[in-house]
Amino acid sequence: MTDLRGSVIPRLLPTASIHPLFLFLERANALIFHDAYPQLLLYEQSKQMKKPLFHLLPCFSVSSFMKPFWEYFFETKNSPIITVALIINEQQYIQKRVIENKFFQERVLETMPFIAEQWLGFNNVLIPYKAGRHIRLAGTTVRDFADVHHRIHIGKTLYSILFFQKPLAKRACQFASQTAHTGSRADFWPQLFSPEKTDPFRIYSPRLEAVWPNIPHPFSDRRDWFTDQTIIKMMETIPVIKEKDMTTSYMHHMQTLKIAASAIP
Total count of domains within the chain: 1
Q: Which of 94, 116, 76 is nearest to 260 (CA)?
A: 116
In the chain, how many H helices and how many E strands?
Answer: 10, 4
What is the DSSP track for 94-148?
A: HIIIIIT-HHHIIIIITSHHHHHHHHTT--EEEEEEEETTEEEEEEEE-S-TT-H
Residues spanned by the domain of 56: 2-262
- Provide the 3-class DSSP secondary structure of residue 193: strand
pLDDT tens column, 19-77: 999 999 999 999 999 999 999 999 999 999 999 999 999 999 999 999 999 999 999 99
pLDDT tens column, 219-259: 999 999 999 999 999 998 888 776 689 999 899 888 888 88
Give residue 191's identity as a one-letter amino acid code.
Q
C-alpha to C-alpha distance for 159 and 144, rounded to whole angstroms: 19
pLDDT tens column, 186-219: 999 999 999 999 999 999 999 999 999 999 999 9
- Does the global pTM surpass 0.85? yes
C-alpha to C-alpha distance for 181 and 18, rounded to whole angstroms: 23
pLDDT of residue 9: 87
Q: How far is CA 13 from CA 21, 115, 252, in A?
A: 10, 12, 19
